[in-house]
A and B are shown apart, each in its own frame.
Chain A
Amino acid sequence: MSPLPPTPSQTVGPFYGYALPFPTGGEIAPAGHPDTITVRGVVLDGAGQPIPDALLEIWQAGPDGDLTGRPGSMRRDPVTGGFLGRDGVDFTGFGRVATDADGGWVVRTLPPGPHRPGAAPYLSVCVFARGLLHHLFTRIYLPEHADALAADPVLGALPPERRATLLAERDHDRTYRFDIRLQGGDGGHEETVFLAFA
């Protein structure tokens, strides 16, 4: 049987803000977990301007490399219909954050573990924005795990300046920076590497 033709993508538009983001969307780590890391950045357009209406989704392995995921990212209150927030215990592996007026975003999560022996752990990121007709995937690799990073097949196939766009920079202890540039610009800044899955 030939595969069914897929439903085309359309832009998320400007008005998803009351529908998709949810409280604690960026708080992927169980509250107060001592291993929590913070990953922050900005989303920029081809003119180097911040994009205030982008939406990022994160999917990642748990610290043990487990990719099973769990429900409960957007727990709801059946009494009011509002959001309860995460339960503070389970790690769902999923986060969703809208950029702020300055294009900024922050997630707090647990460092992913290797999803197979020797794999370089990463956060998978799906980017949506007004003006973007089809979402984009990228990856946030953390700078630790030097041996695994050196052996990663995706990173290994990229020239150094492209490879660098997939590596978070350590700002200070347990805090990382990862900017996303949807388009390379005249200012010389490198466009983020985006991925296609075969």
Chain B
Amino acid sequence: MSTPPSPPPGSSPALASQAEIDREIAAQYQSYVDSRAAGAPARQHPDRDYPPYRSSALRHPKQPLVSVGDPEDVELSGPVFGVTDVTALDSDLTRQHTGEPLGERLTVTGRVLDRDGRPVRGQLVEVWQANAAGRYAHQRDDHPAPLDPNFTGVGRCLTDDEGRYRFTTIKPGPYPWRNHRNAWRPAHIHFSLFGTAFTQRLVTQMYFPGDPLFPYDPILQSVTDDAARQRLVASYDHDLSVPEWSLGYRWDIVLDGPAATWMEEGRL
């Protein structure tokens, strides 16, 4: 396809311009900065009600969350996975088909830790991503970029005793979406993580350093705290690059949420 497709007439409501979204992002950011200046605590996660991300409008609770903190809550334990749940090839997203996928080959590695800095051992890490052209192997992705018959974009592994995970993949491309007019997601890899407790569950996205799309993206900017947002960006690590083979990125992950105290005492 050599020209961009035009949307069918009347198919969608009027979309905001990037300039309008930029103003909303700036207003949300300023509101957070003001709240910090007034003594509010740092916000480590996105607010679920984030108007610049249009899909959040009807999908966030309006009532405050109900705080629970009984040390015997079921949620202070969590699901476990093992060698039966992954295969050796799962961590190499470039070897799941007969040929090599197109794109810049990467090693992505890091550690999964709890907030006390303890490694999360033997736990499941799942990733998914677009191909090098910015297309997902998903029927509902109608971005007119080519599918790659040699790339699905799904990986899994178990963390080792140091909490380390490691994937070989290709760099995903940025892609357009319809949050607003001319909306583009910066390149990212989706991550799904488990801790020792269900409370530590995390689904997030890893970004690549220096992406020019960062300021325009309401999903990344939904993390209004500068330091927190920076924690979603991997570091290029030349020592992880393999000569004549792949570029290396490092991204450590810290899981939020309490775990059972009896695990801290080593009685597991």
B31-39, B66-74, B238-246: which lies at the interface? B66-74
Q: Which of B82, B202, B205 is the one whose CB lies under 8 Å from A71?
A: B82
Q: Which of A3, A130, A136 is the one whose CB lies under 8 Å from B61?
A: A136
CB–CB B46/A134 < 8 A: yes
Contact with B along A5-38 (1 / 0, CB 8 A): 1111111111111111000000000000000000
- Most interface-central of A45, A67, A92 (chain B CB within 10 A): A67
CB–CB A116/B72 < 8 A: yes
Q: Which residue of A lies closest to B110 (CB)?
A: A7
- Most interface-central of A68, A124, A133, A183 (chain B CB within 10 A): A133
Chain A proximity of B247: nearest CB distance (Å) = 22
Please tell me if A128 contacts chain B, counting CB pairs below 8 Å: yes
Interface size on B, residues (CB 8 A): 83
CB–CB B79/A9 < 8 A: no
Using C-beta atoms within 8 Å of the partner chain, give the interface range for chain A: 35 or more
Contact with A along B218-243 (1 / 0, CB 8 A): 01101100011101100000000000
Contact with B along A126-157 (1 / 0, CB 8 A): 10111111111100000000000000011001
Please tell me if A174 contacts chain B, counting CB pairs below 8 Å: no
Contact with A along B24-64 (1 / 0, CB 8 A): 00000000000000000010111110100101111111110
Q: Which of B42, B58, B72, B257 is the one whose CB lies under 8 Å from A45?
A: B58
Contact with B along A36-75 (1 / 0, CB 8 A): 0000000001110101000001011100000111111111
Q: Which of A7, A12, A71, A132 is the one whose CB lies under 8 Å from B253?
A: A7
CB–CB A5/B227 < 8 A: yes
Please tell me if B265 contacts chain A, counting CB pairs below 8 Å: no
When distances are taken between beta carbons in the complex, the residues of chain B under 8 Å from A77 are 87
Contact A78:B88 (CB < 8 A) given known A3-B115, A13-B190, A59-B75 = yes
Q: Which of B50, B59, B84, B229 is the one whose CB lies under 8 Å from A182?
A: B59
Looking at chain A's contact residues, is the secondary structure mostly helix, strand, loop, or mixed? loop
Contact A119:B72 (CB < 8 A) given known A57-B201, A75-B85 = yes
Residue positions of B touching A, CB distance < 8 A: 42, 44-48, 50, 53, 55-63, 65-70, 72-90, 96, 113, 115-117, 126-128, 130, 136-138, 140-141, 152-154, 190, 192, 198-199, 201-205, 219-220, 222-223, 227-229, 231-232, 253-258
Residue positions of A touching B, CB distance < 8 A: 1, 3-20, 45-47, 49, 51, 57, 59-61, 67-78, 81, 92-94, 112, 115-116, 119, 122, 124, 126, 128-137, 153-154, 157-158, 162, 182-184, 191-198
